Amino acid sequence: MHTMEQDPYLWLEEVASEQALGWVGERNAETEAELTAAPGYAALRARLKTILDSKDRIPYVGLYQGRYYNFWRDADHERGIWRRTMLEEYRKPAPQWETVLDLDRLAFEENENWVWAGASFLKPQGGRCLVSLSRGGGDAHVVREFDLERLAFVADGFILPEAKGGASWIDRDSVFVATDFGPGSMTSSGYPRVVKEWRRGTPLPDARPVYEANEDDLSASAWFDYTPGHERQFVQRQIGFYSSELFVRDPAGGALTRVDKPEDADAFTVRDQLLVQLRSDWDLGDARWPQGALLAIDFARFMAGARDFQALFTPTEATSLDGIGVTRDAVLLTVLDKVKNRIVELRHVGGAWERREVAAPGMGALGVSGVDEIASNDYFLTVTDFLTPSTLYLAHSGSDERELLKAMPAFFDASPYTVGQFEAVSKDGARIPCFVVMRKDTPMDGTNPTLLYGYGGFEVSLTPFYSGVTGEAWLARGGVYVLANIRGGGEFGPRWHQAALKHLRQNAFDDFLAVAEDLVARRLTSPEHLGIMGGSNGGLLVGAALTQRPELFGAVVCQAPLLDMRRYHQLLAGASWMGEYGDPDDPEEWAYIARYSPYHQVSRGRRYPRVLFTTSTRDDRVHPGHARKMAALMRAQEHAVLYWENTEGGHAGAANNEQTATMWALTYTFLWQELTRKSSPKS
């Protein structure tokens, strides 16, 4: 172990320094020389590129003024095209699309490495949108106003320079802007703390101040609810990841009125109703509403002092709220029940809420999104699981009838496989479920190459998904895939997440290790054949598992990770995560963080499985210095490490299909090589 004062690798935190990039170049060359020469690499990469470029993938769409918009990448459009069509055309197997914006052409003309970062439409007036573009795929982006009739950027329109934050429409001639206004305008996490109202034709510095959050808050933002008859302006102070204040803004005088919700609850309006989603129990008079519940009340009555909420969802030990969709007349709740989805439809009729279970196909993951929550009761329903290609339906609230719109092709033969749910018992007795995808004839003899994936943080739920990449690169070669639903995630609501917060973080690691031990105990696999993979917070997870129980694994893939938990809060967006991990500058909190910080726990005297670290130079969320420094330290201690850093791609690690295919081909080639070796342990 080493202390902060002894850290010899701080120079690797200088993202674009000549010395650091030289080190990256050497590591990349070593990794690529080994893995691209492995048997099957070239064929696998080509196959993955074909899957990623497939024109038969589902083109997911969003409706705006009668047209359905889609952003698309394939072999002919490396950076992508933004395009649109009509519903009748979209229903066809091969729709005709109108190109709205060609990113490849734009990047060429402007000599910029543009990556699509989304668009927000002007509603209800129409005709304009705000397009966000990132250089290389980072979180920071530029914003430009775009004319959807002329299909061109508005030369003298709303334009923001590169920064984290952005803009949102108020009306055709004004927007809310949260961006970098200069010194003092950003939080310690690197997000905007100042929101202004910017009128068309006026200089950005002259924009009218709306709200200013504290420097140690996470961010500030504002938006306009354009629902006819319920138009309102809202301002939000995001104190931390799990705490916020919400205000209603008077558009005339600019006065803010606080919405009296718990700080750790989320609140938003749906027409005349205020919906509040609780992270903690809430005592209101004689009523106690449990954490994880979703409550509703008339918004005007609430602001006048009423508190007679109605419960739209109340969690149980096995259920949690996974998502909320809205149509013109309904609210659609996606519920997780033992980590499998079902849908509940709610309608507000005569002051009461009517509910019914939606008869949805499949037993995997369900996704719901309203087509036009103002004018239509249609919604998109996405159905997917590990072995069934994702399917997109057009459904209708008030009915179980649905129209099949699109289905992803089968990228691998799923017939030999089966999906099961196992349960492991963690160190403190908690029961931890996981999904296991394997061949039906898998021998329980401890020899199966098995990949265990986990995340366990930020209330993120891991649910079944269909992946041609995972299927072709891992299952089709004979691998077993395991998805762990450990604490820190949201699979069983806020309590599941809060059970691994701050000083309880070790629970997430113990859960992951318990799943690994259970797989070995069942003789599904054995340590020399068991690999683990995780990214971002999941990179911290596998880093902790690596340093705490190295003898339990045969290979580790650590992607865009947090690893130096002494300095994480000083790097990029790290300060915003102190609500999750704690404050390393507080001696009491550093005491428990230090016990698991992978960068401080790796030791020369232990034997570790081989590790592949991957990250991106352009990741402006999780600093690439984490992966760089850990790889350098382990190399210096003579542990076997491979390192690969993409020069583009942001936090996702890749900016286009070409880079994505390379990243996954390297990753799965590494895992297959390591987990099919006979000798063990590896050093």
pLDDT at 655: 62
Q: Give 147-161 pLDDT, tens digit per residue.
A: 999 999 999 999 999
Q: Give 427-457 pLDDT, tens digit per residue.
A: 999 999 999 999 999 999 999 999 999 999 9
Contacts 24+ apart (CB under 8 A), 7-12: 7/629, 9/628, 9/629, 9/632, 9/633, 10/629, 12/625, 12/628, 12/629, 12/632
What's the CA gap between 482 and 642, in Å, rounded?
Answer: 23
Nearest-CA neighbor of 615 among 569, 533, 558?
558
536 belongs to the catalytic site: yes
For the sheet with 256-259, list strands across it: 219-225, 232-240, 243-249, 256-259
End-to-end CA distance of the chain: 18
CB of 210 closer than 8 Å to CB of 235:
yes
Q: Which residues of 652-679 are buried (b: 16+ CB within 10 A; e: fewer)?
A: bbbbbbbbbbbbbbbbbbbbbbbbeeee
Residues written for the chain: 683
Q: Give 5-61 pLDDT, tens digit per residue.
A: 579 999 999 999 999 999 999 999 999 999 999 999 999 999 999 999 999 999 999
**4-37+421-675 topology per CATH:** Rossmann fold (3.40.50)
Strands of 413-454, DSSP E: 417-425, 431-439, 450-453
Which residue out of 77, 396, 497, 651 is catalytically annotated? 651
CB atoms < 10 A from the CB of 367, how many?
20
Angle between helix 657-675 and helix 41-53 axes, rounded to 10 deg? 140
Distances (CA, A) of 39 to 49, 95, 208, 469, 597: 18, 39, 62, 18, 36
Strands of 440-545, DSSP E: 450-453, 480-484, 530-535
User: Domain map of the chain by residue range?
Assistant: 4-37+421-675, 321-405
Q: In sequence order, what are the beta bridge partners of 177?
A: 167, 196
Which residue out of 174, 467, 536, 576 is catalytically annotated? 536
Contacts of 99 (CB under 8 A, 6+ apart): 81, 82, 83
Q: What is the pTM of this model?
A: 0.91
Question: Would you place residue 321 in the very low, low, confident or very high pLDDT band (cuts 50, 70, 90)?
Answer: very high
Nearest-CA neighbor of 97 among 72, 65, 133, 119?
72
Helix (H) or strand (E) holding 597: none
Instruction: Report percent pLDDT > 70 for the chain.
Output: 97
Helix (H) or strand (E) holding 167: strand 166-171
Question: Would you place residue 650 in the very low, low, confident or very high pLDDT band (cuts 50, 70, 90)?
Answer: low
Nearest-CA neighbor of 655 among 80, 92, 34?
80
Q: Give 163-222 pLDDT, tens digit per residue.
A: 999 999 999 999 999 999 999 999 999 999 999 999 999 999 999 999 999 999 999 999
